[in-house]
Amino acid sequence: MSKVICDVCGTTYPETAAQCPICGSAKKSTAQTAAGDHDQASGYAYVKGGRFSKSNVRKRNKKGQELERRPAGDRSPKKDNANAVLIAIVILLVIAIIAVLGYMGIRVFLSGGPAGNGSQTTKPTISDPTGSSTPTDLSCTNITLTRPEIEFTAEGQAQLLSCTVTPTNTTDKLEFSSSDPSVATVTDKGLVTAVGGGQATITITCGQAQAQCQIICSFGNVTEPTDPSEPTVSVPVGYELKLKYKEFTMSKTYPNPVSVYVSNPSVKATDITWTVDDPTIATVSEKGVVTAVGKGWTTVRATFGEQTASCQVVVAFDPEPVKEAKYKISHTDVTIKVGESFNLRLSDSDGVNVKVEWVASVEGYVEIKERNIKGIKATADVAGKCITITGTIDGETYKCTVRVVEPAPAE
């Protein structure tokens, strides 16, 4: 029985069949007869490669059949393209998996342990120029100013404060403030600008550290106080300067301070200039009160106009050491003219100004704005022709005698 070869799947089947029993393709009139089909038993067989297999071609050639070639356009690349796409997808998935695993490995390595293991994390650090690492909340311990004092000679002049903090990589912020904005102002960047005559203190704060810069505006109505030793009142006619004692002794029996001033309705004790030759033995106040300091003798002198009087003081015992005042006052006796002013400051042992409220003993003669004392009326009609400016801090009182006089008439 003759057999034919299916053009689609290459199966040989009996010529009497209407279609291929394997793929169901209809038998074509041009279907090739299977080579050597007389040697095969009845039925059908699958020949690998179909009609174009090497074995079938050889068999057809043996029978003198011409070799058939299918045009290249008849071959379908769909199966090969599907395989290529599948391979590409598999490769991309493998690359993605490797990338994810690598990223997780790097995270674990940098964090020092597996992510989410509940271990405590450390604070982020900041590296300083030396290469060491420090915590982010690094406090400032010290501030050093390049210039602790700045003087301005005209309104509107400005200068940027220069300071160094320790440590240099501190996380604390610098803050600036002015004690008297009417004299000098300061920005949050440290730029100081002169506003008016007088003195002000710029305070720089960084964490717990603090520094101060003294600002002097030497223009406007600010004047230097006159020398307190200059005579401020005229000597009354016929007045003779005298002291209570020519000589006196201070002992354990009589250790209290002694006044050597002789009262006079025309001349007050504060009108007289008092001095002592040896302040390690005794001191004398602006009111002529002598206080023992150490064992020995010295001379107390009083000067008023052209007259001078003296008194010898003997200290026959070792007094208790005089307690040193905690703060220092800048002026104790000042004479100014109406319209003039000066700054009355109180400073600690390091020279840093402290804030204190100054009060005048008689109102209406001076104007007080924090440290600035300005004369507004002559004190000639006040008892003693002066007033007292007083400030109290930490239980201690500090005083300054102020005389305000009329300005000399213009020539």
Tokens (6 digits) for 403:
């005389």
Q: What's the pLDDT at 171?
A: 87
Tokens (6 digits) for 265:
């309705």
Q: What is the mean pLDDT of each run of 10 residues along the chain (411 residues)?
A: 75 78 73 55 47 51 49 52 84 92 79 46 43 61 85 87 86 89 89 88 86 84 49 73 91 86 85 91 90 91 92 89 76 88 86 88 92 91 89 89 84 41
Q: What's the pLDDT at 153?
A: 84
Q: What's the pLDDT at 36?
A: 54
- Angstrom distance (rounded) from CA 300 to CA 169: 59
Q: What's the pLDDT at 185?
A: 92
Q: What's the pLDDT at 50?
A: 52
Q: What's the pLDDT at 298?
A: 94
Residues whose CB is less than 8 angstroms from the CB of residue 6 and which lie 6 or more positions away in sequence, other chains included: 12, 13, 20, 22, 23, 25, 27, 31, 50, 51
Provide the 3-class DSSP secondary structure of residue 101. Answer: helix
Q: What's the pLDDT at 229?
A: 45
Q: Are 167 and 233 in contact (CB under 8 A)?
A: no
